[in-house]
A and B are shown apart, each in its own frame.
Chain A
């Protein structure tokens, strides 16, 4: 884990494509950099001047009361907000030296590198195998059947689902339990070998045991992927996240190392929220 608190407001951010520096040293573990991000739903501003750096191979949790914009922000990172016609976005979301919102950026290419897991498990109404194999085949990641089988097994193993489903790969994905379905969705996301996995309250529809399984899984997956998760559950954020950002009314109030944030929050609002005084 990074011992240093991440920089939240970098007034001297380098130009797009230039390496980001922290304490005058090139910083290579940066995954996504967000600068002055504003977002409107029609005339309602939902995100207000967000600045945040998200680090590679870590779990970052976004917490905050309902309607604070954390899910909206998450969807900015793979441009899922494009699907909502009334949304207008301004500002920089930079990944791998490229502006995600640039006209040149193909959102299909972006979503290959930034996968997503949704609040409600939403496997395709196809077989378990097909759920995982569909996207790699579509992106031409596999050419032969054997390769495909191998990839499906690898993804399902990474998602901790292989032992449970290896004998019933041809059964519909929707026949699994809720927790299994969510892990299937995670397997589906990692099958295209993304860099980042966005998780939008992945456990809010699950029972405590399935939730624990997913949390363990997130801990393992961060060795390979950058995970950004939205959660309503503060204990979950404290358990799984390396960094935590607290959102309130479309702004990031505080962003810090999780341990620091939960032991000595810098802002009064954060303290009130994490101690359960409101939200």
Chain B
């Protein structure tokens, strides 16, 4: 017995309702995920963006005889509690370098301390009411202002909040990543090439494959312990150095690079290999001249993503001593250094209010770098994507 259209649509109605419901649920969960992301970014931006500005005070600096030994003497005594200690500290040094300045005076914008900075930004601070009132007057007179915070990008860590910057961490990260890439990229790519193009398919290589996949899932702090035991204790690599950190992170990045390289190699169609073998290429020529160039975009994408992962890693670096107070920009691969996530971690433990925005500011810098790296990976993939 056949059914009429009406009967069929009656039955279909229920099915359509069900699929519509599923569609709304899935859209809802996507929306929720998006909302969390927006909230996260809004929070970070609202907390972190003020860190890129810093309070400065215009004041008359009188380079007196006394200021040669005591920088405080150069400033208006009423203003002194509002001015950063770092601005005071440099006065005797300046005078020692330029003795001709003694006896002169000069109006200058000097760094205010973090309490002033926080007050101007409307955050919690420890200024007394009189100090606040005096500050308000000066703001109206245009003698106190928020300006671009070049210290944040131009100097290393400091216990004085207004003097703390992220540069030493950025340099440390760059050096660590150079070590990581220099070690894990060649080893990872060649391992993958061997496993994918040369190795026979037997129990042994299958066991290696399984282990590499498991390696990618090992908690990163264990790599830190391995780095401490092998690189630092056994091979004597200097502790806290980008070399030690980079080697440790290289261990962590290796499986990511191996897996993504193997995927990229596997996506090169066999017809290309056959064509190359057919004209008499040796196995290595097939790989070098035909397979690797085609797999390169995929390999690069995977490596960049692995590198970005390593860049955000903190746990293993705690173990090798890179989470430390490093005020100076690192000079070499064996000097003590810190990295961005470790710097963020250090700042997040500081009690002063001013470090809250430093923490958020550091997160913004790290996120910007990570997002640009990932975007670069996407662009690379799109640009070199080929059809066969």
Kindly state whether residue A174 has any CB partner on chain B within 8 Å.
yes
Give Cα A108 to B388, complex, Å. Answer: 25
Contacts of A139 in B (CB 8 A): 280
Contacts of A108 in B (CB 8 A): 280-282
Kindly state whether residue B139 has any CB partner on chain A within 8 Å.
no
The contact of B278 among A109, A111, A125, by CB within 8 Å, is A111
Contacts of B289 in A (CB 8 A): 134, 138
Kindly state whether residue A116 has any CB partner on chain B within 8 Å.
yes
CB pair B277–A185 under 8 Å, yes or no, is no
Give Cα A117 to B278, complex, Å. Answer: 8
Contacts of A120 in B (CB 8 A): 271
**Known contacts being A122-B272, A124-B272, A124-B290, is A116 close to B278, with CB within 8 Å?**
yes
Kindly state whether residue A179 has any CB partner on chain B within 8 Å.
no
Within A103-144, the residues touching B (CB, 8 Å) are: 108-109, 111-112, 115-118, 120, 122-125, 134-135, 138-139
Q: Mark B351-388, 1 if CB is under 8 A from A, else 0.
A: 00000000000000000000000000000000000111
Give Cα A141 to B285, complex, Å. Answer: 16
Give Cα A115 to B294, complex, Å. Answer: 23
Give Cα A120 to B36, complex, Å. Answer: 50
Kindly state whether residue A188 has any CB partner on chain B within 8 Å.
yes
A177 to chain B, nearest CB (A): 15
CB pair A80–B277 under 8 Å, yes or no, is yes
CB pair A192–B271 under 8 Å, yes or no, is no
Q: Could you count the A-B residue pairs with CB atoms below 8 Å apart for me: how many are there?
A: 63
CB pair B280–A83 under 8 Å, yes or no, is no
User: Chain A contact residues (Cβ within 8 angstroms of B): what range?
Assistant: 20 to 34
Give Cα A85 to B200, complex, Å. Answer: 7
**Residues in B lying within 8 Å of A, measured CB to CB:** 200-201, 269, 271-282, 285, 289-290, 294, 386-388
CB pair B386–A80 under 8 Å, yes or no, is no
Q: Mark A65-84, 1 if CB is under 8 A from B, else 0.
A: 00000000000001010010
**Apart from the given pairs A83-B274, A111-B277, A188-B275, 15 other A-B contacts in the complex at a CB distance below 8 Å:** A78-B278, A80-B277, A80-B278, A83-B273, A83-B277, A111-B280, A120-B271, A123-B275, A124-B276, A125-B272, A134-B279, A138-B280, A138-B281, A174-B387, A185-B275
**Residues in A lying within 8 Å of B, measured CB to CB:** 78, 80, 83, 85, 108-109, 111-112, 115-118, 120, 122-125, 134-135, 138-139, 174, 185, 188-189, 192
CB pair B274–A138 under 8 Å, yes or no, is no
Contacts of A111 in B (CB 8 A): 277-280
Contacts of B271 in A (CB 8 A): 118, 120, 122
A-B residue pairs in contact (CB < 8 Å), sample of 25: A78-B278, A83-B277, A85-B200, A85-B201, A115-B278, A118-B271, A118-B274, A118-B278, A120-B271, A122-B271, A122-B272, A122-B274, A122-B388, A124-B275, A125-B386, A125-B388, A135-B279, A135-B280, A138-B281, A138-B289, A174-B388, A188-B275, A189-B279, A192-B279, A192-B280
B201 closest partner in A (C-beta): A85
CB pair A122–B275 under 8 Å, yes or no, is yes
Give 9 nearest A-B pairs by CB, closest first.
Answer: A135-B279, A122-B271, A116-B278, A111-B280, A112-B280, A122-B275, A108-B280, A108-B282, A125-B386
Q: Of residues A80, A120, A122, A139, which shows the largest number of chain B Cβ atoms within 10 Å of its Cβ?
A: A122
A172 closest partner in B (C-beta): B386
Contacts of B388 in A (CB 8 A): 122, 125, 174
A266 to chain B, nearest CB (A): 34
Contacts of B274 in A (CB 8 A): 80, 83, 116, 118, 122
A95 to chain B, nearest CB (A): 15
Contacts of A83 in B (CB 8 A): 273-274, 277
A185 closest partner in B (C-beta): B275
B386 closest partner in A (C-beta): A125
Give Cα A192 to B277, complex, Å. Answer: 13
Contacts of A109 in B (CB 8 A): 280
A122 closest partner in B (C-beta): B271
Contacts of B294 in A (CB 8 A): 125
A82 closest partner in B (C-beta): B277
Give Cα A228 to B278, complex, Å. Answer: 15
